[in-house]
Structure 1
Amino acid sequence: MKKLYLPLLMTLVVVLSSCSKKMGELSSDYFTVTPQVLEAVGGKVPATINGKFPEKYFNKKAVVEVTPVLRWEGGEAKGQSATFQGEKVEGNDQAISYKMGGSYTMKTSFDYVPEMAKSELYLEFKATIGKKVVTIPAVKVADGVISTSEMVAQTLSSANPANGDDAFQRIIKEKHDAQIMFLIQQANVRASELKTAKAFGEEVKNVNDAVNKKITDIEISAYASPDGGLDLNTALAEKRQDNTAQVISRDLKKKKIEANVDTKYQAEDWEGFQELVSKSNIQDKELILRVLSMYSDPEQREQEIKNISSVYKTLADEILPQLRRSRLTLNYEIIGKSDEEIAKLADTDASQLNLEELLYAATLTNDAAKKEAIYNKAAQNYPNDYRAFNNLGKLAYQAGQYDKAESYFKKALSIKANAPEANMNLGLIALSKGDKEAAANYLGKASGSKELNEAMGNLYIEQGQYDKAVSSFGDTKTNSAALAQILAKDYNKAKTTLSSIEKPDAYTDYLTAVLGARTNNSSMVISSLKSAVAKDQSLAKKAASDLEFSKYFTNADFMEIIK
Structure 2
Amino acid sequence: MKFDPEVLTSIGDKVHFTVKITYPEKYFGKKSALRFAPVLKYGEKTLELPAKFFKGEKCTGDGDVVPYAIGGTYTYETTFDYTADMASSELYVLPFGFDPKEAISKDLTEAQIQEKYKSLAMCETKLADGITNTEDLVGGNEVMQLAEHGYELETVISTTAALYFPKNRSNYNKRFGANKTETAAANRKAIDDFLAQGWDIKDITTNAYASPEGEETYNANLSENRANTANKYIKREFKKLLKAKDSKIAMEDCSGVNFNPVGNGPDWDGFMSALKASSIEDKNTMVNVIQSAAPEKKEEEIRNMILIYPELEDDILSPLRRAEITAHCFEPKRTAEEISQLATTDPSQLTTAELLYAATLTEDKDAQAAIYNTATDLHPDSWAANNNAAVSAMGARDYETAHTYLDKANSSSPNNAAVINNFGALYAKQGNWDKAEKYFNDAKALGSNEDYNLGVIALNDGEYEKALGLFGNTKCDFNVALAQALLEKYDEANNNLDCASANCKTNYLQAVIAARTAKDGDVITHLKKAIEINPKFKQRAANDREFIKYFNNEDFINLVK
Are the structure 2 counterparts of residues 284 and 454 from structure 1 closer, same or farther at C-alpha, using a change threshold of 3 Å?
farther
Q: Could you tell me how far apart the structure 2 residues matched to 1:83 and 1:261 are? A: 96
Query: Root-mean-square deviation (CA), in Å?
Result: 3.7
Q: Is residue 224 of structure 2 the alignment partner of residue 228 of structure 1? A: no
Aligned residue type for 1:348: T
Instruction: Show the 5 A alignment for 1:333-352.
Output: 333-352=330-349
Q: Which runs of 5+ in 2 are unaligned?
A: 103-115, 243-252
**1:477, CA displacement in angstroms?**
4.4
Are the structure 2 counterparts of residues 202 and 222 from structure 1 closer, same or farther at C-alpha, using a change threshold of 3 Å?
same
Q: Which moved more, 1:456-465 or 1:66-75?
A: 66-75
- 8 A Cα contact 2:476 2:499, kept in partner: yes
Secondary structure of 1:406's aligned partner: helix
Equivalent residue for 2:113? none
Q: Could you tell me how far apart the structure 1 residues matched to 2:56 and 2:308 are? A: 99
Q: Could you tell me how far apart the structure 2 residues matched to 1:187 and 1:410 are? A: 62
Are the structure 2 counterparts of residues 508 and 186 from structure 1 closer, same or farther at C-alpha, using a change threshold of 3 Å?
same
TM-score by length of 1: 0.80
Equivalent residue for 2:80? 110
Equivalent residue for 2:108? none
Identity, % of aligned positions: 33
Equivalent residue for 2:204? 218
Q: Could you tell me how far apart the structure 2 residues matched to 1:43 and 1:283 are? A: 77
Aligned residue type for 2:165: F
Q: Is residue 366 of structure 2 the alignment partner of residue 369 of structure 1? A: yes
- 8 A Cα contact 1:421 1:449, kept in partner: no
Q: Which moved more, 1:268-277 or 1:535-544?
A: 268-277
Q: Which runs of 5+ in 1 are unaligned?
A: 1-5, 7-30
Given the alignment, which residue of 509, 512, 515 partners 1:514? Answer: 512
- 8 A Cα contact 1:201 1:252, kept in partner: no
Are the structure 2 counterparts of residues 298 and 415 from structure 1 closer, same or farther at C-alpha, using a change threshold of 3 Å?
same
- 8 A Cα contact 1:159 1:478, kept in partner: no
**1:376, CA displacement in angstroms?**
2.6
Equivalent residue for 2:484? 485
Instruction: Show the 5 A alignment for 1:315-464.
Output: 319-447=316-444, 452-464=450-462
- 8 A Cα contact 2:381 2:408, kept in partner: no
Equivalent residue for 1:23? none
Given the alignment, which residue of 203, 206, 224 partners 1:238? Answer: 224
- 8 A Cα contact 1:117 1:145, kept in partner: yes
Q: Could you tell me how far apart the structure 1 residues matched to 2:277 and 2:518 are? A: 74
Equivalent residue for 2:246? none
Q: Which moved more, 1:378-387 or 1:240-249?
A: 240-249
Q: Could you tell me how far apart the structure 2 residues matched to 1:524 and 1:300 are? A: 87
Equivalent residue for 2:533? 535
- 8 A Cα contact 1:126 1:135, kept in partner: yes
Cα-to-partner distance string for 1:379-404 (whole Å, 9 max, x where unaligned): 22111113333333333322233333
Q: Could you tell me how far apart the structure 1 residues matched to 2:240 and 2:546 are? A: 84
Cα-to-partner distance string for 1:34-76 (whole Å, 9 max, x where unaligned): x332222122222244444544555556665544443323223
Q: Could you tell me how far apart the structure 2 residues matched to 1:216 and 1:272 are? A: 27
Equivalent residue for 1:26? none
- 8 A Cα contact 1:466 1:484, kept in partner: yes
Are the structure 2 counterparts of residues 554 and 356 from structure 1 closer, same or farther at C-alpha, using a change threshold of 3 Å?
same
Are the structure 2 counterparts of residues 415 and 267 from structure 1 closer, same or farther at C-alpha, using a change threshold of 3 Å?
closer
Q: Could you tell me how far apart the structure 2 residues matched to 1:281 and 1:172 are? A: 39
Cα-to-partner distance string for 1:230-249 (whole Å, 9 max, x where unaligned): 23322322332232222222
Instruction: Show the 5 A alignment for 1:134-213.
Output: 134-137=119-122, 139-152=125-138, 156=140, 159=142, 161-190=144-173, 191-192=175-176, 193-194=178-179, 199-200=186-187, 202-210=189-197, 213=199
- 8 A Cα contact 1:162 1:451, kept in partner: no
Are the structure 2 counterparts of residues 245 and 66 from structure 1 closer, same or farther at C-alpha, using a change threshold of 3 Å?
same
Q: Could you tell me how far apart the structure 1 residues matched to 2:558 and 2:289 are? A: 90
Cα-to-partner distance string for 1:414-461 (whole Å, 9 max, x where unaligned): 433324333323323322333221111122233479885443332222
Aligned residue type for 1:525: V
**1:159, CA displacement in angstroms?**
4.9
Are the structure 2 counterparts of residues 261 and 554 from structure 1 closer, same or farther at C-alpha, using a change threshold of 3 Å?
same
Secondary structure of 2:80's aligned partner: strand
Are the structure 2 counterparts of residues 145 and 173 from structure 1 closer, same or farther at C-alpha, using a change threshold of 3 Å?
same
- 8 A Cα contact 1:63 1:85, kept in partner: yes
Cα-to-partner distance string for 1:491-533 (whole Å, 9 max, x where unaligned): 344334333344x332232122223333443332221111222
**1:77, CA displacement in angstroms?**
3.2
Q: Is residue 35 of structure 2 the alignment partner of residue 38 of structure 1? A: no
- 8 A Cα contact 1:282 1:311, kept in partner: no
Q: Could you tell me how far apart the structure 1 residues matched to 2:485 and 2:405 are? A: 33
Secondary structure of 2:200's aligned partner: strand
**1:268, CA displacement in angstroms?**
2.5
Secondary structure of 1:228's aligned partner: coil
- 8 A Cα contact 1:78 1:110, kept in partner: no
Q: Could you tell me how far apart the structure 1 residues matched to 2:161 and 2:195 are? A: 17
Secondary structure of 1:108's aligned partner: strand
Given the alignment, which residue of 249, 256, 272 partners 2:235? Answer: 249
Secondary structure of 2:331's aligned partner: strand
Q: Would you say how many aligned residue pairs link Structure 1 and Structure 2?
A: 527
**1:216, CA displacement in angstroms?**
0.7
Q: Which moved more, 1:319-328 or 1:172-181?
A: 319-328
